[in-house]
Structure 1
Amino acid sequence: MTDVGPGQSPRGHRSVPHTGDLRVEAWAPTREECIVEAARGMVGSFAEVPPDVSWAARECAVSGDDDGRLLAAVLEEIIYRMDVADELPVDVAVAPEPGGVRVRFRMADSSTATQIGAVPKAVALHGLRLARDAHGWACRVTLDV
């Protein structure tokens, strides 16, 4: 799924052009770190947040029927918080818990960010994937912008 191999970073993300939407691919040694990379890739595709911005801690439990749906649920939580609270994650941490994951956000006011791309409105379920591969975990997600 990703072109990660010997000599490349064990974790990361990239945006891939996709007709009328945005596709993010991410990879990491663990499922939870891969979800974090996907979240960073999503936010980094449309916003630059100053490193010294003030933030507030937020936390929630997220579940999904399978790993792909779990990834979608975490990204949808970010989109929801942007829509209803005008908050944008400066950092994300994901830890496993029974039935899903615990997500810890450092959220900044959206007005502190510089918009550099189209803001995602939803996560598409078509082509959604989060799975173990030869190098750890990798995911692919398409975002409606």
Structure 2
Amino acid sequence: MSRLTHLDENGHANMVDVSEKTVTTREATAQAVVTMTTETLEMITVGSHKKGDVLAVARIAGIQAAKRCSDLIPLCHPLMLSKVSVELLPQPDSDSVLILATCKLAGQTGVEMEALTAASVAALTIYDMCKAVDKGIVISDVKLLEKKGGKSGHWKVNT
């Protein structure tokens, strides 16, 4: 079993030294699902929410969150992201919004945390904007879907 890389030999938390790692193109995609009432989803998709365009605000929030990941998670490296995309896909059959966040860079460490943070904050933004009209909103299925690059190569969730 691999050891936890954020702990030193004495068990103390530390930031991993990535200075000797090779610069490679790295990319990660994560998801989150926000489930709500049919009426709330319709309000979002037809644009009748009084707070404005919920999906546009959530997209911007997700992008900002990826860029600020190292400010939120103590041992994350600050990264020069070359791409952040946040897709918000209404799913009428399940009264939900599927969020797909992808982050990319050329660097010495992966972007999984940035993608997960983007998806999570986009979901939280939908919740925040809609909580007044729907008290039962559920955020679920936050997970990494795929990562590419680095020493460990390509990984994709089993579906």
**TM-score by structure 1 length?**
0.32
> Whose radius of gyration is greater, 1 or 2?
2
RCO greater where, 1 or 2, for CA within 8 Å and sep 6 or more?
A: 2
**TM-score by structure 2 length?**
0.29
